[in-house]
Structure 1
Amino acid sequence: MDTANLRLIFVLTDLIAPLAVGYFLHQRHLVSGEAINKLIRFNVVCIYTVLALLSFWVLPISWSLLTVPIFGFLLILVPGAIGTVAFARHFKSWLDRGAYIASAMLANIGTLGGVCAFILYDEQGFAYTQLIGTCQNILLVLVIFPMAQYCYMKHTHAVRKTDRLHSFCDMFFSLNQLSLIGMAAGLLFNACGIERPPALAPVFQGLVHIAAWIAMLPVGFLIDFQQVRRYAHRVRSLTALRFLITPVLFGVLIYLFVDEPVTQGTLVICSFCPTAINAVLTSRLYHLTTDLAVASFVITTGLFLPILFPALFFLLR
Structure 2
Amino acid sequence: MNDTLLRIALLLIDTIIPISLGYILHKKGIVTQEGTKKVITFNVRVVFTVLAVISFWSLHIGPAIFWVPVIALVITFLPYFIMMAATKKNPDPRERGALVTAGMLGNTGTLGGLVCYLLLGPAAFAYVQIVAVIQNVLLITFNFPVAQKFHDMAVAGEGKAPMKKRSFAELFFTWNQVALIGMIVGAGLSLAHVPQPEWLQMVFKPLVHISAWIAFLPVGLLLDFEAARREMPKTLWLMPLKFILMPLVVWALCAAVVTNPVMAATLIIVSSCPTAINSVLTCALYGLKTNIAVSSFMTSTTVFALVMCPIYFFLFR
TM-score (ref. length: structure 1): 0.77
Deviations 1:157-204 (A, max 9, x none): 999342523xx5444212322222222232223223333334433322
Calculate the aligned-residue CA RMSD, in Å.
3.8
Q: Is the 1:22–1:220 Cα contact (8 Å) retained in structure 2?
A: yes
Q: Is the 2:218–2:281 Cα contact (8 Å) retained in structure 1?
A: no
Residue aligned with 2:236, SS: helix
Q: Is the 1:76–1:136 Cα contact (8 Å) retained in structure 2?
A: no
Q: Counterpart of 2:99 in structure 1: which amino acid?
A: Y
Listed as ranges, the matches of 1:163-312 within 5 Å are 164-165=166-167, 169-254=169-254, 256-258=256-258, 267-277=267-277, 279-280=279-280, 289-304=289-304, 308=308
State the 1:304 CA deviation.
3.7
- Tell me, in whole angstroms, the C-alpha distance in 2 between the residues paired with 1:151 and 1:82: 21
Q: Is the 1:59–1:124 Cα contact (8 Å) retained in structure 2?
A: no
Identical positions, percent? 35
Where does structure 1 lack aligned partners over 5 or more consecutive residues? none
State the 1:26 CA deviation.
0.8
Q: Tell which deviates more after alignment, 184-193 or 92-101.
A: 92-101
- Tell me, in whole angstroms, the C-alpha distance in 1 between the residues paired with 2:184 and 2:260: 23
Match of 1:136 in 2: 139
State the 1:141 CA deviation.
4.3
Match of 1:160 in 2: 162
State the 1:235 CA deviation.
1.7
Where does structure 2 lack aligned partners over 5 or more consecutive residues? none
State the 1:216 CA deviation.
0.6
Match of 1:82 in 2: 82
Listed as ranges, the matches of 1:42-191 within 5 Å are 42-65=42-65, 67-85=67-85, 87-88=86-87, 96-109=95-108, 121=122, 125-126=128-129, 128-146=131-149, 160-162=162-164, 164-165=166-167, 169-191=169-191
- Tell me, in whole angstroms, the C-alpha distance in 1 between the residues paired with 2:312 and 2:172: 34
Q: Is the 2:39–2:214 Cα contact (8 Å) retained in structure 1?
A: yes
Q: Counterpart of 1:230 in structure 2: which amino acid?
A: R
State the 1:225 CA deviation.
0.4
- Tell me, in whole angstroms, the C-alpha distance in 1 between the residues paired with 2:66 and 2:213: 30
Q: Counterpart of 1:58 in structure 2: which amino acid?
A: S
Give the total of aligned pairs: 313
Relative distance call for 1:146 and 1:10 in structure 2 (3 A) is same
State the 1:284 CA deviation.
6.1
Residue aligned with 2:208, SS: helix
State the 1:211 CA deviation.
0.9
State the 1:289 CA deviation.
4.9
- Tell me, in whole angstroms, the C-alpha distance in 2 between the residues paired with 1:117 and 1:186: 26
Q: Tell which deviates more after alignment, 14-23 or 175-184.
A: 175-184
Q: Tell which deviates more after alignment, 245-254 or 65-74.
A: 65-74
Q: Is the 1:149–1:286 Cα contact (8 Å) retained in structure 2?
A: no
Listed as ranges, the matches of 1:24-35 within 5 Å are 24-35=24-35
Q: Tell which deviates more after alignment, 303-312 or 183-192.
A: 303-312
Q: Tell which deviates more after alignment, 115-124 or 1-10.
A: 115-124
Residue aligned with 1:204, SS: helix
